[in-house]
Structure 1
Amino acid sequence: MPERQDPFATLFDMQAEAMREMFGRFAGTVNDPAEADLGQWTEAAEQLRTMWLDFVQERMAGGGDPANPLDPAHWMQMAQGWARSAPFDPAAAQRMMADGMELWQNLAGAMLNTGGESAGEDDREKPALPRQDRRFSDPAWREHPAYLLLHQTYLMLADHFTRAAKEIDGVPEEQKGQLTLATQAMLDAMSPDNFIATNPAVLKRTVETSGQNLVKGMQHLIADLQRGQLTHTDAEAFTLGENLAATPGKVVHETPLYQLIQYNPATPDVLAVPLVIFPPWINRFYILDLTPAKSFIKWAVDQGLSVFVVSWKSADASTKDVVWDDYIRAQIDAIDHVRARLDVPAVHSIGYCVAGTTLAATLAILARRGEADKVASATFFTAQVDFEKAGELRSFIDGTQLEMIGKLSPDGYLDGRYMAATFNALRGKDLIWNYVVNNYLLGEDYPAFDLLHWNGDVTNLPAKWHGDYLRDLYRDNKLVVPDALEADGTPIDLARIETPAFVQAGRDDHIAPAESVWRTTRHFRGDTTFVLAGSGHIAGVVNPPAANKYQYWTGDSAAPSLEAFVEGAREHPGSWWPHWFEWLQQRDDARVPAKGKRKPGGRGDKVIEDAPGRYVKMR
């Protein structure tokens, strides 16, 4: 048996040898190395050089974009600030070294003794690795000992650093959360699959294409740097009003802050009580009107609902003085306009995410004013009113972060690219680095994916209200304190809300955690129904019945905790949408003919324009 070698001493030699061997092996599958066309490589290198120099010169001539969310400096400053609070833990470091030695000795020693997995062994079942991660699923990561050892070592170190951040002693919970988030972000960025020299799949593609994957990747990179935003999907694949946000309707009302869209009925009769949907004002409304097969709005229209939706205007310098009061007044205005337009006493309402938070405040204000009967029911999609357990986003709301956000809004509004970058950073492995590898290193074509198209269609936010929202709600949790906040001259007390409420949460939601959403049931006085949906913040909501995906749980909405609710809950397969519609009809199932102004744009009905309107297209 060969003499056992020290894995620490051989690791870097193995890595260098692996790169040479990989290039030789991969080149042999494409060209005869002795006859390789070096001209193709020279041309690719010159293309890369020219593209980058042209980009740099263009940026220097134009002064660059000081507010580019892709600038790593913003995120490095944040991570460094978090990391300063991390004390050194000798015990954790010792455990990490011991585990590292064991992994390297066992894994590297075994590979050295067997000489690696040769091509002739491909049909043999490969042993299970100590750690699994889909980033390293390509067979190339197992074809040479160095790459096998490299990615397994990385995963071992990542586990240790993540656990150390979560278990660190003597650090306040808020700082611990920041440290955990910063640690995960740095680990995601340092993954060996993110770099050409340490990603065997990229090396293989580079040889196969004579470097053209890197040329195409450079084109993608420069385009993203120019727009200040990471591209996830093919921008040419979707057009609003054609294959996204395409449910037929009309814009029937407009203010400087929003447009109100009414959709054409799809049934001879409709429910007498219309539905008004308030989507998040941090996103485009068509998350609820994606392709027809996924559209909640189309599905609701098909069930016989008269559906209206608010389309918020993206902020600009003209909205620098917009605050929460304006959004609450806008919701009340939309409710009153629908009531007057259809001559009905009340409407059903839906508030999604932050618009659900605002809807709760609106209901409390209407109750205080004696006007609660304007709203027959309120549905909350993944919305929070109690922010004590608001999850990872709380890591962005200490004094330092709020100050930095304020500096990013010199014209009175926050560029929506920053909000997109923040949400992407919460799931950096999936929403950032996965695309860095695919788009920039492998040079793959962009996919056509409606949800990712919406995710990249950012909306600017009024800076004054955005700052107040983070301070008053996320940081100080004032909304659940009776009369601690007011809007439009009226104090807000959630305990005054007696409107029947349907509260939906996502089991795997990392933006509005299920436990945080559950607390909504504890602050309303009226009849409240809670439903827990499978999946997260988006897929847990956008889950059409025809897809037959995920599941949902119903149970005792008066249970003392989410844990108690789950223990006694009943699981149902598929979408919760039909369950919600049944709940809505139990409030009032009366129907009326779909005629007159129930059909927007008919004879004598003055409308503004076709759906989806202008505001959703403004940048």
Structure 2
Amino acid sequence: MRDKPATGVVPSPAVFINAQSAMTGLRGRDLISTLRSVAAHGLRNPIHSARHALRLGSQLGRVLLGETLHPINAQDTRFSDPAWSLNPFYRRSLQAYLSWQKQVKSWIDESSMSEDDRARAQFAFSLLNDAVAPSNTLLNPLAVKELFNSGGQSLVRGLGHLIDDLLHNDGLPRQVSKQAFEIGKTVATTTGSVVFRNEMLELIQYRPMSEKQYAKPLLVVPPQINKYYIFDLSPHNSFVQFALKNGLQTFMISWRNPDVRHREWGLSTYVEAVEEAMNVCRSITGARDVNLMGACAGGLTIAALQGHLQAKRQLRRVSSATYLVSLLDSQFDTPATLFADEQTLEAAKRRSYQRGVLDGRDMAKVFAWMRPNDLIWNYFVNNYLLGKVPPPFDILYWNNDSTRLPAAFHGDLLDFFKHNPLTHPGGLEVCGTPIDLQKVTVDSFSVAGMNDHITPWDAVYRSTLLLGGERRFVLSNSGHVQSILNPPGNPKANYVENGKLSGDPRAWYYDAKKVDGSWWTQWLEWIQQRSGAQRETQMTLGSPDYPTMEAAPGTYVRVR
């Protein structure tokens, strides 16, 4: 149904950290410097500080008398226990915390600091405020109840979890148990075979799951920083199975987890590898052209490949391109870039070249600090204060199964964020050819996430405008990963679409319509129209030139 306008405020995620921040890293010295400058500003402006201190004191006095000054956000699960609103002690402690939060924010907003300094200060204090929340102490009513119910065992178990994480998980609480899932047994279970392998990738061809199949294959290019099986998690949310059941010949790239020996792999190296995999797909299926799908950095890779093919006058090998939460325009209108100065970028490059790789765990830490209440403090309470094991969740298992990035590719990504080269013809050179995306006339389907903290939706929208050809853009009501995993049947799933792409993302949104359901079904109709004729299904995998090597999920996905 399309009769619901996209009313309300234009979605703009509160992004303090995004994909660029994950590439550059978040240095503790930058946060300390920000706190130091805030303290210095406070000392230089005693009247301003005193005014807000008096306001805070007045509010705390009213809180001690039992007044409820600040409503509890119903969406904030930290304080969902009834004790926070009914018990006099807990109600007062929460109200004092909310009063402190409000006055700190007001002090920063009303200060005479520059706009950039205020943004940095808000970010630093948001981390601090989340850390000192009263829910993060042993006095948390949930922790107190568990302590009595377990006879003190919750505290013993929690201490054990804490010691284990300090020793083996870089000091962060685990989001999922390593034993919760097993690759090939409970995740990445769709039947298929590795039909090609080189130093960089394995190419998996999946066994058909329909009576007829379309002539043109689909080649999925996952991001280089995580394992491919985000597209093949559990059977109920497997994008691979959805494609197979609807007649699409599906191939998947499984990237090798690089080490120091592969430090010179750059964007051009990955583009060449995808081109080779695409030619293998064409050879096995006999198709002249291939449908490409890229997610996140995989989307950047397929865009660069198409620009390279266009420069070689070989773009006819690509039938269509799908971009999932992918950035081609790297301009961010958020405070996230305020810590990414020239010195920080060069330091990040230097670190990865010295090590040979950028460790995925370093990026995982930054991603976790994007949503600390959900990805850090939630598990701090569960694992340490309640002494429980984190519940099994396939998405978080995949998210924690990160890989490394070669130093050269990391440097290419840093330059991409610094120079935003794809916004002008010839700004990026790949495999010795200049890239002009406006000349890439392949039809494209782009998906963004309304609540995406990694690749903000308006930047993904602007990326769509860089492409030539017939373009379609949809805005899912989810975050970075859930926008990809959007199977039909989810009652909460919906997206926003407007067939007329204007130059301004906000103008596009105001004229868009809300559509109930998953974007997968709309994409399926779109891709089937670009997949050629239907024919009888061929159950044999591989070909004489590319025989099957081993069963999916292959070898590279298991390398840590």
Q: TM-score, normalised by structure 1?
A: 0.80
Which position in structure 2 is the counterpart of 1:574? 517
Q: Secondary structure of the residue that 2:321 maps to in structure 1? A: strand
Q: Does 1:617 align with 2:533?
A: no
Which position in structure 2 is the counterpart of 1:439? 383
Q: Does 1:242 align with 2:185?
A: yes
Q: Secondary structure of the residue that 1:300 maps to in structure 2? A: helix
Distance (Å, rounded) in 1 between the aligned partners of 2:234 and 2:109: 40
* Aligned pair partner of 1:79 in 31, 40, 52: 31
Distance (Å, rounded) in 2 between the aligned partners of 1:397 and 1:179: 15
Please tell me the residue identity of whatever aligns with 1:440: Y
Indicate if the aligned counterparts of 1:249 and 1:611 stay in contact, CA closer than 8 A. yes
* Aligned pair partner of 1:458 in 381, 389, 402: 402
The alpha-carbon deviation at position 537 of structure 1 amounts to 0.7
Indicate if the aligned counterparts of 2:428 and 2:434 stay in contact, CA closer than 8 A. yes
The alpha-carbon deviation at position 200 of structure 1 amounts to 3.8
Which position in structure 2 is the counterpart of 1:468? 412
The alpha-carbon deviation at position 304 of structure 1 amounts to 0.6
Indicate if the aligned counterparts of 1:508 and 1:535 stay in contact, CA closer than 8 A. yes
Indicate if the aligned counterparts of 2:257 and 2:403 stay in contact, CA closer than 8 A. yes
Within 5 Å, give how 1:103-142 maps onto structure 2.
103-110=59-66, 130-132=71-73, 133-142=76-85
Cα distance, 1:397–1:600 mapped onto 2, change above 3 Å: farther
For residues 302-323 of structure 1, the C-alpha deviation after alignment (integer angstroms, 9 at most, x for no partner) is: 1110001111111211111111
Q: Does 1:398 align with 2:346?
A: no
For residues 351-390 of structure 1, the C-alpha deviation after alignment (integer angstroms, 9 at most, x for no partner) is: 1011111211111111111011111000100111111127
Distance (Å, rounded) in 2 between the aligned partners of 1:561 and 1:477: 18
Please tell me the residue identity of whatever aligns with 2:367: F
Which position in structure 1 is the counterpart of 2:13? none
The alpha-carbon deviation at position 139 of structure 1 amounts to 2.9
Distance (Å, rounded) in 1 between the aligned partners of 2:387 and 2:55: 36
Indicate if the aligned counterparts of 1:300 and 1:307 stay in contact, CA closer than 8 A. yes
Distance (Å, rounded) in 1 between the aligned partners of 2:508 and 2:406: 38
Indicate if the aligned counterparts of 2:119 and 2:335 stay in contact, CA closer than 8 A. yes
Q: Does 1:101 align with 2:57?
A: yes
Specify the structure having the higher radius of gyration (Cα).
1
Q: Secondary structure of the residue that 1:104 maps to in structure 2? A: helix
Distance (Å, rounded) in 2 between the aligned partners of 1:602 and 1:330: 20
Please provide the CA RMSD for this pair: 2.5
Indicate if the aligned counterparts of 1:521 and 1:557 stay in contact, CA closer than 8 A. no
Cα distance, 1:408–1:177 mapped onto 2, change above 3 Å: farther
* Aligned pair partner of 1:187 in 129, 138, 149: 129
Percent of aligned positions that are identical: 35
Please tell me the residue identity of whatever aligns with 2:29: Q
Which position in structure 2 is the counterpart of 1:336? 279
For residues 437-487 of structure 1, the C-alpha deviation after alignment (integer angstroms, 9 at most, x for no partner) is: 1101110122111111111111111123213312x1222212223212211
Which position in structure 2 is the counterpart of 1:206? 147
Indicate if the aligned counterparts of 1:279 and 1:311 stay in contact, CA closer than 8 A. yes
* Aligned pair partner of 2:308 in 365, 370, 395: 365
Which position in structure 1 is the counterpart of 2:16? none
For residues 85-123 of structure 1, the C-alpha deviation after alignment (integer angstroms, 9 at most, x for no partner) is: 544366764564354234323332137xxxxxxxxxxxx
Q: Secondary structure of the residue that 1:572 maps to in structure 2? A: strand
Distance (Å, rounded) in 1 between the aligned partners of 2:51 and 2:268: 54
Distance (Å, rounded) in 2 between the aligned partners of 1:324 and 1:394: 22
Within 5 Å, give how 1:18-33 maps onto structure 2.
none
* Aligned pair partner of 1:293 in 231, 236, 248: 236
Distance (Å, rounded) in 1 between the aligned partners of 2:164 and 2:527: 47
Cα distance, 1:307–1:401 mapped onto 2, change above 3 Å: same
Cα distance, 1:291–1:481 mapped onto 2, change above 3 Å: same
The alpha-carbon deviation at position 614 of structure 1 amounts to 0.9
* Aligned pair partner of 2:205 in 262, 265, 271: 262
Please tell me the residue identity of whatever aligns with 1:583: W
Which position in structure 1 is the counterpart of 2:526? 583
Q: Which runs of 4+ in 1 moved over 6 A?
A: 602-605
Which position in structure 1 is the counterpart of 2:3? none
* Aligned pair partner of 1:154 in 85, 92, 97: 97
The alpha-carbon deviation at position 599 of structure 1 amounts to 3.0
Aligned residue pairs total 527
The alpha-carbon deviation at position 601 of structure 1 amounts to 5.5
Distance (Å, rounded) in 2 between the aligned partners of 1:369 and 1:507: 36
Indicate if the aligned counterparts of 1:357 and 1:383 stay in contact, CA closer than 8 A. yes
Which position in structure 2 is the counterpart of 1:309? 252
Distance (Å, rounded) in 2 between the aligned partners of 1:390 and 1:608: 47
The more displaced of 434-443 and 208-217 is 208-217
Indicate if the aligned counterparts of 2:452 and 2:480 stay in contact, CA closer than 8 A. yes
Which position in structure 2 is the counterpart of 1:449? 393
Distance (Å, rounded) in 1 between the aligned partners of 2:47 and 2:329: 38
Q: Secondary structure of the residue that 1:155 maps to in structure 2? A: helix
Q: Secondary structure of the residue that 1:293 maps to in structure 2? A: helix
Indicate if the aligned counterparts of 2:60 and 2:99 stay in contact, CA closer than 8 A. no
Distance (Å, rounded) in 1 between the aligned partners of 2:176 and 2:34: 32
The alpha-carbon deviation at position 589 of structure 1 amounts to 4.4
Distance (Å, rounded) in 2 between the aligned partners of 1:387 and 1:488: 21
Gaps of 5+ in 2: 1-24
The alpha-carbon deviation at position 520 of structure 1 amounts to 1.7
Which position in structure 1 is the counterpart of 2:428? 485
Cα distance, 1:166–1:524 mapped onto 2, change above 3 Å: farther
Whichever structure has more helix as a proportion of its residues is 1
Indicate if the aligned counterparts of 1:420 and 1:458 stay in contact, CA closer than 8 A. yes
The alpha-carbon deviation at position 343 of structure 1 amounts to 1.6
Indicate if the aligned counterparts of 1:556 and 1:568 stay in contact, CA closer than 8 A. no
For residues 147-174 of structure 1, the C-alpha deviation after alignment (integer angstroms, 9 at most, x for no partner) is: 322222212222343455567655364x
Indicate if the aligned counterparts of 1:391 and 1:513 stay in contact, CA closer than 8 A. no
Structure with more relative contact order (C-alpha pairs < 8 Å, separation 6 or more): 2
For residues 214-252 of structure 1, the C-alpha deviation after alignment (integer angstroms, 9 at most, x for no partner) is: 211122122222222531123222111111011111111
Indicate if the aligned counterparts of 1:528 and 1:557 stay in contact, CA closer than 8 A. no
Which position in structure 2 is the counterpart of 1:48? none
Please tell me the residue identity of whatever aligns with 1:453: Y
For residues 120-145 of structure 1, the C-alpha deviation after alignment (integer angstroms, 9 at most, x for no partner) is: xxxxxxx8953333212223334543
Distance (Å, rounded) in 2 between the aligned partners of 1:574 and 1:165: 41
Please tell me the residue identity of whatever aligns with 2:258: A
The alpha-carbon deviation at position 554 of structure 1 amounts to 1.8
Cα distance, 1:309–1:141 mapped onto 2, change above 3 Å: same
Distance (Å, rounded) in 1 between the aligned partners of 2:385 and 2:164: 14
Distance (Å, rounded) in 1 between the aligned partners of 2:310 and 2:110: 45
Indicate if the aligned counterparts of 1:402 and 1:467 stay in contact, CA closer than 8 A. no
Distance (Å, rounded) in 1 between the aligned partners of 2:89 and 2:450: 39
Indicate if the aligned counterparts of 1:504 and 1:530 stay in contact, CA closer than 8 A. yes
Please tell me the residue identity of whatever aligns with 2:33: G
Which position in structure 2 is the counterpart of 1:356? 299
Cα distance, 1:440–1:420 mapped onto 2, change above 3 Å: same
For residues 4-49 of structure 1, the C-alpha deviation after alignment (integer angstroms, 9 at most, x for no partner) is: xxxxxxxxxxxxxxxxxxxxxxxxxxxxxxxxxxxxxxxxxxxxxx
Which position in structure 2 is the counterpart of 1:3? none
The more displaced of 519-528 and 497-506 is 519-528
Which position in structure 1 is the counterpart of 2:548? 607
